[in-house]
Amino acid sequence: MKKLLLTGFEAFAEHSTNPTKDLVNSFSNSVVNNYQIKSFVLPVEYESAKDRINELIELEIPDAIILLGLAADRSEITPELIAINYCHSRLPDNAGVIKLFEKINLKSKESFISTLPIEKIIQSLNENKIDAKLSTTAGTYVCNTVMYTALHKSSQMSLDIPCGFIHIPNGIDQDQLINALTICINSL
């Protein structure tokens, strides 16, 4: 059976909860589309999240990676196209760290493009009456750091696998989120 590494995040900033935490936990050790799901909740901390995603990829050697994060200002589910080698946010992470004008990895390339079947995911979600659209960048906060790091690590390990990040909005109930994520996994 194939293995899917699935991650979400803990609560951060003014958000007392993060729907990705409950979502990934609800998939823990389940099987979807012939993937055994390995679920983990990451800290919203630049360095700890980066270290943890590297460790999980090395440990699990997954056949696919879906990284989830909260985009509270959005109203659609948005698979991310590009992760950039850049951190820049005045919002501190949960360790109190603020990163401005910093590279994620000084020895790596400027960007990585998602290897998830983004067009298929968006089309499948929309066909099932779940609003979804493309987002061209994962931003410059911890979500982008995790996406960039996962794609970099996958490349380093020569893992030719679907790997990418999907932001979810606030305000979608848990059952609909479970349905949406199931559709995403079935699109792999």
Counting the structural domains of the chain, the total is 1
Per the prediction, the chain carries an average pLDDT of 97
Q: What is the pLDDT of residue 18?
A: 95
CA dist., res. 109 & res. 112, Å (int): 8
Please give the share of the chain, as a percent, with pLDDT higher than 90: 98
> Where residue 59 sits, what CATH number does that domain have?
3.40.630.20
Residue 101 has a CB neighbour count (10 Å cut-off) of 8
Confidence of residue 119 (pLDDT cuts 50, 70, 90): very high
* Average pLDDT value for residue range 111-130: 98
* Average pLDDT value for residue range 102-111: 96
* Average pLDDT value for residue range 135-155: 97
Task: Say which residues have a Cβ less than 8 Å from residue 29's Cβ, sequence separation at least 6.
Answer: 36, 37, 38, 39
CA-CA-CA-CA torsion sign (149, 144, 147, 158): negative
Please classify residue 183 by burial: count the beta carbons closer than 10 Å to its beta carbon, then call 0-12 exposed, 13-18 middle and 19+ buried.
buried
* Average pLDDT value for residue range 151-166: 98
Q: What is the pLDDT of residues 10-23, one digit of tens each?
A: 999 999 999 999 99
Which residues have a catalytic role annotated?
Answer: 80, 143, 167
* Average pLDDT value for residue range 35-56: 98
Identify the domain containing residue 84 by its residue range: 2-186
